[in-house]
Structure 1
């Protein structure tokens, strides 16, 4: 079974526009391209990655699809379409779906001033296009309010497959628990909802280890099971609190309670099925 990193990014500050990325972002305020990641993937034994959008723009999606063409290690691309403009979104989806590695959609909802952005009628209409095309939606659940929306969307958009990025950023640094734990449980009760064990190191204290992550990861395993969880590095954002090797090593430590079959699902099997990696190209 292939090992898959289900959440990583590339960006080029010379050719792309990323308003959220500023000098205040520190060490990630620079260009990150495939050549820098490839040796780190090889060292960890990662076979494929899921390249996820970094900006709500067609230009970013086009750049990612070009990188997927150039690098076999990119097994799937999660891009962007204008969900608030369903007609334009439908046209974009029709074009993107011709690419064998186009595998899903995300929107930077945490950058929207309206915390209820996802529940707009036009967005719901756009999400129904995804459901009809059997394309999943990555949910950036940073606020508790974002996580509250997941079961609402599951009800309003039947058939929409969703994945919660970064386990909705549990309060690891504060050693907190609620309301995160209960809200995640409500989301997990929807069978079409999955989650990524990713981005946890940047929610923890600087001296974090797998033991800091373990209670939150084990709660997710209990709720979703390994068949609905997938590992992601969140590289290069992860470099704000460690390197790729550390994230890989300590995430596996946090998953040590799983048997080998369960680990294999979280470390590759789930992402391969969810994003259908290799299916269209086969």
Structure 2
């Protein structure tokens, strides 16, 4: 018996150390990638690089239009996808009867999350750009990106709502609240940290998407800032791709691409830190 116990402890220690090694390896790979990007791109970062317009065919100047374009697309997609995703999750969790239909819907949502983003781009090109005649624009790109992140927000919101104890609902209903009042005043506040997590994942994904916006929103070079939701825009991820893959002056444009990558990494990190701070803050409020 003692031998078996000792053997299990040794096995457990080996597995624990192996998992720790894998975790450290993942962190080291991530740190190496970030270090490589920052080493190659930090030298071009300056106030002018962030605040100026591009010049001479993207061989000089700054990336202000790309920063604003990415901000507009991310903001538009979150504004569209968040209410749709949250209300869909509320319906599936709180109102819909448990059965085959809901299982099919969940399978469809999970499969939609695995669809390659270029397919969403072709869908956006066919529906928003061509059929609805929105053209290559912020609106078309935002709607396409909203569809890309919708499954993520639905699943995260559904899991957050399901994690709220049923006692919360029962107590609210027993006090005379309606079902909607219970959801709005009790369930949603308790599930808000998990819903914010879904939005965090969505922001992180759409900020770096290239394939969907190539067909629906992005342009390589623009001498003016967008003035409406029907304007095409420069974006950070497409700017990086275009400078590296199709740039005609690589000795000048590749450093700009690395600098753009640094800006994109920093912006995504800041967005995630803000969202994480909000999640922690709401979690503390819910536990008071």
TM-score range, shorter chain: under 0.3
Greater relative contact order (CA < 8 Å, ≥ 6 in sequence) = 2
Q: Taking structure 1 as the reference length, what is the TM-score of the superposition?
A: 0.24
